[in-house]
């Protein structure tokens, strides 16, 4: 076989890629934007049907390009945590999908009894939060009459986006998910790799409405697409797929995605490590072995650059931030904390607000732009410090991807602040690459050990010899974080 197809169902777009196994590159891609709606403050919804038909469109486009006979199979990567509810008989969604960003269940999650919080921490590796699927599923069961009716008739399906796409692709034959997507539901015991009966009970979710769970490299079913039948041979959540696409497959490997937000995954080997303020999650299960990761996210990274561009109109394009920040030797003592909607890991404080401090009469636009880029690199350092402390594992180097990884100044600064090399790949679509690798390994088209060879570096940013100035910069940033967290009126 010549190729595999990677389907990447992201939050803002659905894309499909043809990965040429011999050439080791993507040779074709198709993309469709996906809408979102915000019916109430803090609510975020999507139309699961739209996700499905746009995914089908992209897949058909790729199959047309490559020819079904040349395609070994399909790998799927997807936005995680988002919940779809549908009718098992027709595949039709019964209500809008509740997207991972949706905060409608925050109050419920903040009022969970101590004992449930402890169970969630111990068994799922997560922190109780509206972000994860469990409370969204409960909300549907409690509030959507059509879902309640289907439940009574034994026809209700509740699952993440991967399981919905798989269900539709296989014409309702496969109702399954993988270990990585399951590990984001807050219902899955990451140690036993199965749903946790007690948590299902506490959230009032019957096991029968949920998909069966398999390793990431399972044969999930046969997709009927483009007039052909193709095996779906790999599934992983987008961040975990990116870890695979970056060939970060050994303990101590890590990757940072610099997109709207910043996502750091740190491979802790076959040991599940817990850390205060960070999430423990399944990295992947491949060839019968389960690897774990610590995960931390900063809500605003590239979006802070967008704010400079659109909110303050300080820079014409996000890319210009590189030239402007480089035009000054340092930020002149200015520090920024991008806590626009609170602070994520490791602080988890939703009341904190963004902070720009250390301004003098000599401060210029360039200092502020530089301080914003510094805040992105420092946010990543805060996460890595926790990860190294709690896992006892030293990071070897960090692989980078996402829109803002194009910024050479930011990547060099990141290397200097972390004190480890930052390795930028030639193919920045790490998520899709991970889905392609998963499918190819699962189908026996390539060996697991080949993944590292197929991920090539475009540039490696090595840390400066004298790191003292960067330590000082980081301390200055931490001082600003303290101030962003300080709320005199709440005391
Ligand atoms: P997402 O997948 O989260 O939508 P992307 O990976 O496409 O995000 O990255 C887009 C983000 O990266 C935007 O917030 C943008 O401001 C930022 N960005 C893109 N290019 C640069 C750059 N050269 N320097 C700094 N930030 C950038």
Ligand 1 atom 23 nearest Cα: 319
Determine the distance separating the centroid of ligand 1 and the alpha carbon of 265, expressed in angstroms.
18
Distance CA(281)–CA(294), nearest Å, equals 6
Write down the residue that tokens 């270990």 correspond to. 179
Q: Is the CB of 287 under 6 A from ligand 1?
A: no
Q: Is the CB of 144 under 6 A from ligand 1?
A: no
Centroid of chain to Cα 376: 17
Q: What is the per-residue pLDDT for 225?
A: 86
Q: Is the CB of 414 under 6 A from ligand 1?
A: no
CB-CB neighbours of 328 under 10 Å: 15
Q: Is the CB of 78 under 6 A from ligand 1?
A: no
Q: What is the per-residue pLDDT for 485?
A: 87
Distance CA(160)–CA(368), nearest Å, equals 40
Domains of the chain plus CATH, in order, are 3-238 (3.30.420.40), 247-420+456-491 (3.30.420.40)
Helix (H) or strand (E) holding 245: helix 238-245
Q: What is the per-residue pLDDT for 101?
A: 83
Is the Cβ–Cβ distance between 76 and 234 less than 8 Å? yes
Q: What is the per-residue pLDDT for 1?
A: 63
Q: Is the CB of 419 under 6 A from ligand 1?
A: no
Determine the distance separating the centroid of ligand 1 and the alpha carbon of 322, expressed in angstroms.
12
- What's the pTM value of the predicted model, to 2 decimals? 0.91
Q: Is the CB of 319 under 6 A from ligand 1?
A: yes
Residue 260, CB-side half-sphere exposure with 13 Å CA sphere: 7
Q: Is the CB of 260 under 6 A from ligand 1?
A: yes
Closest CA to 340 of 258, 261, 256, 259: 261
Q: Is the CB of 302 under 6 A from ligand 1?
A: yes
Structure tokens at 433: 């690459």
Q: Is the CB of 12 under 6 A from ligand 1?
A: yes
Is the Cβ–Cβ distance between 372 and 336 less than 8 Å? yes
- Spell out the per-residue pLDDT of the chain, length 491, in tens: 699 999 999 988 999 999 999 999 999 999 999 998 889 888 889 999 999 999 999 999 999 999 999 999 999 999 999 999 999 999 999 999 999 888 899 889 989 999 999 999 999 999 898 889 999 999 999 999 999 999 999 999 999 999 999 999 999 999 999 999 999 999 999 999 999 999 999 999 999 999 999 999 999 999 998 788 999 999 999 999 999 999 999 998 999 999 888 999 999 999 898 888 799 999 999 999 999 999 998 888 998 999 999 999 999 999 999 999 999 999 999 999 998 878 888 888 877 888 999 999 999 999 999 999 999 999 999 999 988 888 888 888 999 999 899 999 999 999 999 999 999 999 999 999 999 999 999 999 999 999 999 999 999 999 999 999 999 999 999 999 999 887 666 54
- Nearest atom of ligand 1 to the alpha carbon of 10: 2
Write down the residue that tokens 């996502």 correspond to. 263
Q: What is the per-residue pLDDT for 490?
A: 52
Q: What is the per-residue pLDDT for 491?
A: 47
Structure tokens at 101: 């960003």
Cis peptide before 286 (omega within 30 of 0): no
Phi/psi region, residue 302 (left: phi>0; alpha: psi -120 to 50; beta: rest), is alpha
Phi, psi of 411 (to 5 degrees): -70, -40
Closest CA to 236 of 281, 179, 187, 160: 179
Q: Is the CB of 34 under 6 A from ligand 1?
A: no
* pLDDT, tens only, 320-372: 999 999 999 999 999 999 988 788 888 888 778 889 999 999 999 999 999 99
CB-CB neighbours of 436 under 10 Å: 35
* pLDDT, tens only, 108-155: 998 999 999 999 999 999 989 888 999 999 999 999 999 999 999 999
Instruction: Give 134-181 as a DSSP string.
Output: HHHHHHHHHH-HHHHHHHHTT-EEEE-HHHHHHHHHTTTS--EEEHHH
Residue 369 contacts by C-beta under 8 Å, 6 or more apart in sequence? 308, 314, 315, 321, 324, 325
Ligand 1 atom 20 nearest Cα: 404
Is the Cβ–Cβ distance between 308 and 315 less than 8 Å? yes
Query: Which of 261, 300, 303, 305 maximizes ligand 1 atoms within 8 Å of its Cβ, making it the mutation to test the pocket?
Result: 305
Ligand 1 atom 14 nearest Cα: 302
- Nearest atom of ligand 1 to the alpha carbon of 402: 6
Is the Cβ–Cβ distance between 315 and 309 less than 8 Å? yes
Name the 3-class secondary structure at 363: coil
């Amino acid at each position: 076989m010549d190729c595999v197809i990677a389907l990447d169902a992201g939050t803002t777009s659905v894309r499909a890629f043809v990965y040429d196994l011999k050439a080791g590159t993507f040779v074709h891609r198709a993309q469709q934007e996906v809408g979102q709606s915000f019916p109430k403050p803090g609510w975020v919804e999507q139309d699961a049907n739209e996700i499905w038909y746009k995914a089908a469109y992209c897949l058909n486009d790729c199959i047309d390009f490559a020819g079904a006979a040349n395609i070994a199979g399909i790998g799927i990567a997807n936005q995680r945590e988002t919940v779809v509810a549908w009718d098992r008989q027709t595949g039709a969604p019964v209500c809008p999908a509740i997207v991972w960003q949706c905060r409608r269940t925050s109050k419920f999650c903040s009022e969970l009894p101590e004992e449930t919080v402890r169970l969630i921490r111990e068994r799922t590796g997560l922190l109780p939060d509206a972000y994860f699927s469990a409370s969204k599923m409960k909300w549907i069961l409690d509030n959507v009459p059509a879902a309640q009716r289907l439940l009574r008739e034994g026809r209700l399906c509740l699952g993440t986006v991967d399981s919905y796409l798989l269900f539709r692709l296989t014409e309702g034959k496969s109702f399954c998910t993988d270990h990585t997507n399951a590990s984001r539901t807050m219902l899955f015991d990451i140690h036993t790799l199965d749903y946790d009966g007690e948590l299902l009970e506490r959230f009032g979710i019957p096991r029968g409405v949920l998909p069966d769970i398999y390793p990431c490299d399972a044969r999930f079913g046969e997709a009927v697409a483009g007039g052909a039948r193709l095996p779906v041979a790999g599934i992983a959540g987008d961040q975990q797929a990116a870890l695979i696409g970056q060939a970060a497959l050994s303990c101590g490997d890590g990757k940072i995605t610099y997109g709207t937000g910043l996502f750091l995954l740190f491979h802790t080997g076959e040991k599940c490590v817990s850390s205060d303020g960070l999430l423990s999650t399944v990295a992947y299960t491949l060839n019968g072995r389960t690897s774990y990761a610590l995960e931390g996210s900063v809500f605003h990274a590239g979006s802070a650059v967008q704010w400079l561009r659109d909110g303050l109109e300080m820079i014409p394009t996000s890319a210009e931030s590189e030239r402007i920040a480089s035009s000054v030797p340092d930020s002149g003592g200015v520090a920024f904390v991008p806590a626009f909607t609170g602070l994520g890991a490791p602080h988890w404080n939703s009341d904190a607000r963004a902070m720009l401090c250390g301004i003098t009469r000599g401060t210029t636009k360039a200092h502020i732009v530089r301080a914003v880029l510094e805040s992105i690199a420092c946010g990543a350092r805060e996460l890595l410090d926790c990860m190294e402390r709690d896992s006892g594992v030293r990071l070897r180097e960090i692989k980078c991807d996402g829109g803002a990884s194009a910024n050479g100044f930011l990547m060099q600064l990141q290397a200097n602040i972390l004190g480890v090399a930052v390795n930028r790949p030639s193919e920045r679509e790490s998520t899709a690459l991970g889905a392609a690798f998963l499918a190819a390994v699962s189908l026996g088209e390539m060996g697991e050990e080949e993944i590292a060879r197929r991920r090539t570096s475009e540039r490696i940013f090595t840390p400066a010899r004298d790191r003292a100035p960067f330590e000082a910069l980081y301390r200055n940033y931490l001082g600003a974080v303290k101030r962003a967290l300080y709320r005199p009126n709440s005391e």
